[in-house]
Each structure stands twice: as structure tokens, then as C-alpha cells.
């Protein structure tokens, strides 16, 4: 089977599953709402970063992005649906590439719209405190935020294909992000700057002090994502459905 019809069939699955559409809506709602609240909180902190404040809603929003990537793959393993998918598309690499594509495109689109809406909502609350942001910095933040959310969705998708379980992926990633990054990461520093979430979030800051810069940090997250996807593809090819 050619790639286009495979892509079309996988997109149909994404579009018709309400739970997946709901997680994308949650990405937008959570990120925008928390960014708007952050904008209303003021700028009294001496380390105030107007760009990060405007996009800080990505912290809870990324949980929904991770859930989208995990659920998009894990639905294939419910009721042995993966057997039907691979019976229709025996070339497993082609099927997985189509699956990854239909996860990446809507995640990126929703991520970009979400980042732009979050920036506008937060800036309305920040007022003159955000006037120092340049157009280039805001564009970097919006584009970087959209790419980051897409990468986290794909990271979850790759892990789900490897573990063959969305529950296992969420049980691993959510505590990892909430505990390692916010508790261990702030205390340890150094190597933790290259964790997938911390590295990718550098692009959301107006100023940054760590080793990876904005685009270097996103590249680090992309490497983590690529490794997860390759591991998932390897598991798919090595194990019978």
C-alpha cells in the first residue's frame, strides 16, 4: 500500500476519536488559561521573565500533549487493533511513519495556535511589564513553544510504542516531569539541563544561563524524541502484533 492512503486512514482514526480531540483541546485550554493567570499575577519577582511568564502555561499544557501522543498509539493496542492495522499495512515502518506524521502535524498546529493565544492573553495582564519584549523574542517563544509541544507528544508516542501501553508511558513521563525537573533538577543542575523537558523549555525564556541555548535546547529534546521513536519502531518490527 502507498504511503498516502495509509496516512489518510491514520488521520481518520485521529479525527474520529473524541478522546484524542479532547486532549488537543486540553492543550489549548490549559496552556492559555494558566498563561493568562500568570500574566495577572504581576511582575514583582526580581527574576521576572516576561516571555516565560507569558508562556508558562505550557507546564500543565504539556501533560495534555503527552497524553495525546500516548493515547494516539495506545488505542492501537486496545482489542488487538494493531493486528488489523498491520494486516492492512504489512510494512510496519510505513505504518509507523504515518502514525507519527498524523500525531506531529496536529500537535504542531495546535501548539502554535496555543502559544500565540497564550502570549496575547498573558500580555493583556502584564501590560507595560512586557513592553521590553522584541518581536523576534516573541516569535521565537511562539514557534519554540509549538515545536516543543509537538516533540513532547512524539516523545510520548515513541515510548508508548516501546512499552505497548499508554498507562505505562503516562505513569513514567508525568512523574518524571513533575518530580525530576521541578525537585531534583533545580537542586542538581548540570546534567539535568539536558533532560528532554528542561532543555526544550529554554526557548521559552527571554534570557537563559544554562549550557543549551534556545534552539540547542530544542535540538536536545528532538534527539530524545528521535531516540524514543526509533526504540518504538524497533519494538514494533521485532515483536509480532
- What is the domain range of residue 46? 3-238
CA distances 45 to 129, 136, 181, Å, are 12, 24, 21
| Tens digits of residue pLDDT in 161-216 | 999 999 999 999 998 888 776 676 666 556 778 889 989 999 999 888 777 889 99
Cβ contacts of residue 58 below 8 Å, gap of 6+? 31, 35, 115, 118, 145, 148, 149, 201, 204
In this prediction, residue 42 carries a pLDDT of: 63
pLDDT < 70 stretches in the chain: 1, 42-46, 181-182, 184-190, 240-241
**pTM of the full structure:** 0.93
In this prediction, residue 177 carries a pLDDT of: 86
Number of domains in the chain: 1
Residue with cell 484524542: 20
| Tens digits of residue pLDDT in 23-34 | 999 999 999 999
Amino acid at each position: 500500500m502507498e504511503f498516502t492512503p495509509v496516512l489518510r486512514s491514520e488521520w481518520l482514526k485521529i479525527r474520529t476519536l473524541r478522546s484524542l480531540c479532547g486532549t488537543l483541546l486540553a492543550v489549548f485550554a490549559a496552556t492559555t488559561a494558566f498563561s493568562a493567570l500568570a500574566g495577572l499575577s504581576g511582575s514583582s519577582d526580581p527574576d521576572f521573565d516576561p516571555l516565560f511568564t507569558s508562556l508558562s502555561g505550557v507546564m500543565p499544557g504539556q501533560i495534555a500533549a503527552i497524553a495525546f501522543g500516548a493515547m494516539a498509539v495506545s488505542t492501537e493496542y486496545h482489542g488487538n487493533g494493531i493486528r488489523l492495522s498491520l494486516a492492512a499495512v504489512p510494512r510496519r515502518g510505513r505504518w509507523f511513519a504515518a502514525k507519527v506524521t498524523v500525531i506531529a502535524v496536529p500537535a504542531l498546529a495546535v501548539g502554535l495556535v496555543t502559544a500565540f493565544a497564550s502570549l496575547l492573553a498573558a500580555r493583556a495582564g502584564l501590560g507595560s511589564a512586557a513592553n521590553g519584549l522584541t518581536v523576534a523574542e516573541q516569535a521565537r517563544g511562539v514557534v519554540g513553544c509549538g515545536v516543543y509541544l509537538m516533540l513532547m507528544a512524539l516523545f510520548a508516542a515513541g515510548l508508548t510504542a516501546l512499552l505497548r501501553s499508554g498507562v505505562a508511558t503516562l505513569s513514567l513521563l508525568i512523574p518524571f516531569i513533575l518530580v525530576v525537573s521541578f525537585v531534583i533538577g533545580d537542586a542538581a543542575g548540570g546534567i539535568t539541563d539536558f533532560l528532554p523537558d528542561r532543555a526544550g523549555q529554554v526557548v521559552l525564556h527571554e534570557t537563559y544561563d544554562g549550557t543549551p541555548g534556545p534552539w540547542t535546547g530544542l535540538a536536545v529534546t528532538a534527539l530524545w524524541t528521535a531516540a524514543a521513536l526509533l526504540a518504538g519502531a524497533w519494538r514494533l518490527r521485532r515483536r509480532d502484533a
